[in-house]
Amino acid sequence: MSMSDIAIVILNYNGSVFLQRFLPNVLKYSPGAEVIIADNASDDDSKVWIEANYPKEVHWIQLKENYGFCGGYNAALKQLKHKYFVLLNSDVEVSEGWLEPMYSLLEKNPHIGACQPKIKMQADKRYFEYAGAAGGYIDRLGYPFCRGRIFDEVEQDLGQYDDERPVFWATGACMMIRSALYQELGGLDERFFAHMEEIDLCWRLQRAGYEVWYTGKSEVYHVGGGTLPYNNPRKTYYNFRNSLMMLYKNQPASSLLLIIFARLVLDGVAALKFALDGEPKHIGAILAAHFSFYRHIPGLQATRNAFSKHSSKKNNKVTLQGKWKGLLVFSFFLKAKKTFPELIKESTAAASETNRQYNEI
């Protein structure tokens, strides 16, 4: 194994403060890998600082404009020829030995397309972090959640997720992916701009016949909210719109319309809650998200058709990992199941009861 196969790509937009704080550890703990800054047309002193401190250690890719998270990575990664890409947020602190477990997973198992490490809060390293935690899952209506984080509830890391296992999605805050697959699948969908783009990519990876994994042997620490704060209406807009777009692209035809309808109803419930909480900007964000989704449907349908033809030619047998059959909204808000173990216990109990009733017939 050669670490020179790896390109660690940090997408930067006016992130000089984060680069100064976290880049030294990336360089220290990533021996042999190439560290690359892809700059989304920053106007701060990011490049000046890099040239003054790491002119030889860091490769700088200058993009002509701010292409967003998706477009920025796509434009930069097209220029690289490494075997593996690591998409790493500028606000992530890496730890010693963070790279090897992910690299080892991909090297040993050709069926794994991408993986992520354990993601914890940089401000309080006892707890998991919102963006990725211990691996991403998705429920039957397309709501994403993580082991260690469900909505805004995060668990303390007590070693309960120190394993390695397949999941539904890996976080874009720190993801290692095979470069050939990234390019073959078209990279991140630039219509998303930012938010949920990595879930869409991982869904496509699985549909193409590859697995997505989590390894608890690797650990990094994420500041979070570096692109948009969690309570920002713009983030609400992207999360609601991109969730619908992702579902339209990837959900099987047999259940697509029913699930889209259910999500639209639940989005209305969310808007009502924002109204009761006195947050009209978030209501406007949800409405704008829906109208944008409707405008994108023709293009999404074309993408859906093209991917289906691509998959049928390869005759891939797809079994999605990390797709939970329950309803997250109901379990979390109505049944007060706030942690991943509680969700799994509930679904296991329900399955056992179904089997018992079947056997009694």
What per-residue confidence (pLDDT) applies to 262? 96
165 and 255 assigned to the same domain? no
- The answer as to whether 85 is a domain residue is yes
40 and 173 assigned to the same domain? yes
pLDDT in tens, 40-79: 999 999 999 999 999 999 999 999 999 999 999 999 999 9
- The answer as to whether 290 is a domain residue is yes
- The answer as to whether 339 is a domain residue is no
pLDDT in tens, 25-45: 999 999 999 999 999 999 999
As a whole-number percent, the residues of the chain with pLDDT over 70 amount to 92
- The answer as to whether 297 is a domain residue is yes
- Domain termination site, one of 284, 299, 314: 314
60 and 115 assigned to the same domain? yes
As a whole-number percent, the residues of the chain with pLDDT over 90 amount to 86
Is the predicted pLDDT of residue 8 greater than 90, yes or no?
Answer: yes
d(CA 158, CA 118): 12
Domain interval for residue 271: 235-314
Number of domains forming the structure of the chain: 2
Question: Which one has a higher pLDDT value, 316 or 330?
Answer: 330
Structure tokens, 126: 């006892």
Q: What pTM did the predictor assign?
A: 0.93
pLDDT in tens, 275-322: 999 999 999 999 999 999 999 999 999 999 998 876 655 656 678 999
**Of the listed ranges 30-39, 171-180, 328-337, the one predicted with least confidence:** 328-337
Q: What is the mean pLDDT of residues 315-335?
A: 87
Is the predicted pLDDT of residue 353 greater than 50, yes or no?
Answer: no
- The answer as to whether 123 is a domain residue is yes
161 and 298 assigned to the same domain? no
211 and 255 assigned to the same domain? no
94 and 200 assigned to the same domain? yes
12 and 132 assigned to the same domain? yes
- Domain termination site, one of 222, 255, 280: 222
Is the predicted pLDDT of residue 221 greater than 50, yes or no?
Answer: yes
Q: What is the mean pLDDT of residues 203-210?
A: 96
- The answer as to whether 179 is a domain residue is yes
- Domain termination site, one of 222, 251, 286: 222
167 and 303 assigned to the same domain? no
Provide the CATH number for the domain around residue 216.
Answer: 3.90.550.10
- The answer as to whether 354 is a domain residue is no
Q: What is the mean pLDDT of residues 154-177?
A: 97
241 and 203 assigned to the same domain? no
155 and 301 assigned to the same domain? no
**In angstroms, how far apart are the furthest CA atoms of the chain?**
76
pLDDT in tens, 91-142: 999 999 999 999 999 999 999 999 999 999 999 999 999 999 999 999 999 9
Is the predicted pLDDT of residue 176 greater than 90, yes or no?
Answer: yes
> What would the 3-class secondary structure string for the chain be?
CCHHHEEEEEEECCCHHHHHHHHHHHHHCCCCCEEEEEECCCCCCHHHHHHHHCCCCEEEEECCCCCHHHHHHHHHHCCCCCCEEEEEECCEEECCCCHHHHHHHHHHCCCEEEEEEEEEECCCCCEECCCCCCCEEECCCCCEEECCEECCEECECCCCCCCEEEECECCCCEEEEEHHHHHHCCCCCCCCCCCCHHHHHHHHHHHCCCEEEEEEEEEEEECCCCCCCCCCHHHHHHHHHHHHHHHHHHCCHHHHHHHHHHHHHHHHHHHHHHHHCCCHHHHHHHHHHHHHHHHHHHHHHHHHHHHHHHHHHHCCCCCCCCECCCCHHHHHHHCCCCCHHHHHHHHHHHHHHHHHHHHHC
159 and 292 assigned to the same domain? no
What per-residue confidence (pLDDT) applies to 349? 52
What per-residue confidence (pLDDT) applies to 356? 40
Is the predicted pLDDT of residue 201 greater than 70, yes or no?
Answer: yes
What per-residue confidence (pLDDT) applies to 361? 35
135 and 11 assigned to the same domain? yes
**Between the CA of residue 18 and those of 21, 89, 174, 222, what are the distances in Å?**
5, 9, 15, 11
Backbone angles phi, psi at 259, to 5 degrees: -70, -40
- The answer as to whether 322 is a domain residue is no
Q: Torsion angle of alpha carbons 294, 298, 299, 303, nearest 10°? A: 120
